[in-house]
Amino acid sequence: MKKLLITLTILLFTASISLSQVESDTTEVAQPQTEKVKNEKPKKEKKSTGNKIFFGGSVGLSFGNYTRIALYPQLGYRFTPKLSGGVEVGYEYIKDNRYTSNYETYNYGASIFGRYRLIPQLYFHVEPAFYNYEFNYWSENSYREWVSFLFLGAGFSQQLAAGTYLYAQVKFDVLQNSNSPYSDWAPFWNVGVSVGF
């Protein structure tokens, strides 16, 4: 393994030296001046809206006695190089066969989020969210209720290719709604790939 690492390092070093020694043509050619040069202001490049839009999200899969299938697509917009925001919708299907009475349910909701980059790799994250959950699903008195969350957290992203990033973030629900299905101050970990962020 050590020999492989040393060999790769030497190859990369050699390739970078080779590329840096490309000769450029330095001969000057006299051009006849046929037109007067006008004082023109340089044209400002129009920034395309397409390069400010990004998308991502997450998928959750769990199979067995407890089955969970979750989809959370995300669409965002980069307002400045440091500030971005967007929306996320979520849907999850749950089937639980662990107890004597089996049940099936689904949850759904949405959130808006904002991210502020401290440095290109590190960002802060804020996300108010509202999700609809079924409660008392094991009885005849089951009911659905909207639960609010306010997630605060931070994340790290690393560019994989042009416009594609690997990210990892942790967030906490600071509202601690009494109907939340999650434990108090439980961290929410997200790891995934984002295109455009």
Average pLDDT of the chain to the nearest whole number: 79
Out of 6-20, 74-88, 108-122, least confident range: 6-20
Per-residue model confidence (pLDDT) at position 28: 45
Q: Taking 60 as the threshold, does the pLDDT of residue 9 lie above it?
A: no
Min mean pLDDT across 13-27, 34-48, 141-155 is at 13-27
List, for residues 39-92, the tens digit of each pLDDT value. Answer: 555 555 555 666 889 888 888 899 999 999 999 999 999 999 999 999 999 999
Longest dimension (CA), the chain: 93
pTM > 0.75:
no
Which domains does the chain carry?
A: 54-195 (2.40.160)
Give the residue-averaged pLDDT of 117-138: 92
Who's near 158: CB < 8 A, 6+ residues apart? 121, 165, 166, 167
- Per DSSP (E only), the strands in the chain are 53-62, 66-78, 83-96, 103-119, 122-135, 143-161, 164-173, 188-195
